[in-house]
Structures are given as C-alpha cells and as structure tokens.
Homo-oligomer: A and B are copies of this chain.
C-alpha cells in the first residue's frame, strides 16, 4: 500500500539493462514525449546544479518529513546503476541528504538522488559531481526516529514510482519509465529523436514549422485569421 511504513525489500526486479543503456541517450523531454506525454515529476523538482544528467534504475524510499533514517537503510539496497528516489508522508523542505550519504551512495555505485524534500551540502555535492534533484536546498538537519519503507511503490512529486523503474533526470526535470514499458519507450524515443534531427536541419535552414508540419490548413480551420497590419483590425481588438 502506497505510504505504508516498516517494509524493506532487499531484491527488486530492475528494468532490463539494454533499455537503460538505450534510454541514457535521450533527454527527459524526448522520453516523456515518447511515452505519450506522461511520467514526469512536478516542476518544483530541480537539479541542485546545472548540466547534470542520470539514467538508472529506481531504489524507492518512503520517509517521514525531517527524518532521514530510511536513506541509510536504502544505501544497503543500492547497486551500481541505481538512482535513489524518495517520497515523503507530508510536505518538507528539510535537508535530508548531504555529502556523507552521497559518499556512501557513490561507494555503492548509485548515480544520483531524486528527493521530494530538501538537500544540503549543495556545494560539496557539486564538487563531488553527485547530482541531486530536489524540492529545495536547505541546511536543516533531520532526526533518525521513525521508520518508513524501502523498495515499495511510492509517490514522488506527483508521480508513481515502482522499485526498478527507469529514472531519467536532466536540466528539464525527472521522468519515470515503468520497467515493463522501458523497451518500447526506448524504441519510440529513438524514432522521435531521428525525426527531430531531420526537422532541426530544415528549421535551421530557415524553413518554417508551419510548412514542415503542414499547419497552415488546420490553423485556418481552427479559425486563425491573418491581417496585414494593425490598421486592418477592428478597434476593439487594438486595446
């Protein structure tokens, strides 16, 4: 049950490695489109420094606000190529994760963290190159008093995440690819990227999207009228 505490699952089925390798090539926006425009975390989740990018398999953490105990429990479950993803039982901006945990996570082979709460030691994490996508950066420390869960389904920033799902994060935010659909999404992302590369070339050469995408007729049908200049408009529209 989403939000149930007291459960730690040691082994989870992870998305197949080939799909993860393939998805690594694409950005969050492309993958989200390839999924049919779904799977994103809410826009308030932002990278703590620009230019970071990760693609890996989710170890999920359910924690209580102001309590980072479960991050230590999760460390043991992390394997090379994993990305930790943490949801909380209620809103918090406290700094639940810092450079010590990052050192431990890195030693376990983890690629990064997505956390629906705060992060601290932002300067050290930038220097280490350990990327975090968080709701806030704040020095506020936490306790280790209440148990949550590790590797159960969670809701993180409005998205449902199962352990083993693919997590892709870059400057545009975070997208979750359910493990079952990863191969299909990877293929669709590849096709989309190929198509976009061709389109990009035409647009760079000065062609208009109106022509590249054949939009002129649908726009007219949808009621768009062209006017030579402002004088051609009725007075009401000029205000």
In the bound complex, CA of A16 to CA of B33 (Å):
39
A50 and B2 within 8 A (CB): no
Q: Which residues of B contact A219 (CB under 8 A)?
A: 69, 73, 147
Supposing A29-B120, A155-B158, A160-B2 touch, asked if A209 and B50 sit within 8 A by C-beta, the answer is no
Assess whether A200 is in contact with B123, with CB atoms less than 8 Å apart.
Answer: no
Verify B235–A180 contact, CB threshold 8 A: yes
On chain B, the residues within 8 Å of A75 by CB distance are: 208-210
Q: Which of B43, B93, B136, B146 contacts A143 (CB 8 A)?
A: B146
For the complex formed, measure the closest distance between the CB of A11 and the CB atoms of chain B, giving whole angstroms.
Answer: 4
Within 8 A of B (CB), among A69-121: 69, 72-73, 75-76, 89-95, 98-101, 103-104, 106-108, 118, 120-121
Copies of the chain in the assembly: 6
Number of interface residues of A (CB under 8 A): 120
| CB pair A175 B29 closer than 8 Å | no
The smallest C-beta distance from A164 to any residue of chain B, in angstroms, reads 9
When C-beta atoms are compared, the residue in chain B nearest to A49 turns out to be B50
Q: In the complex, how many angstroms separate the beta carbon of A6 from the nearest chain B beta carbon?
A: 5
* Chain B nearest Cβ from A19, distance in angstroms: 15
Which of chain B's residues have a CB closer than 8 A to the CB of A35?
Answer: 1
- For the complex formed, measure the closest distance between the CB of A8 and the CB atoms of chain B, giving whole angstroms: 5
Closest to A203 in B: B104
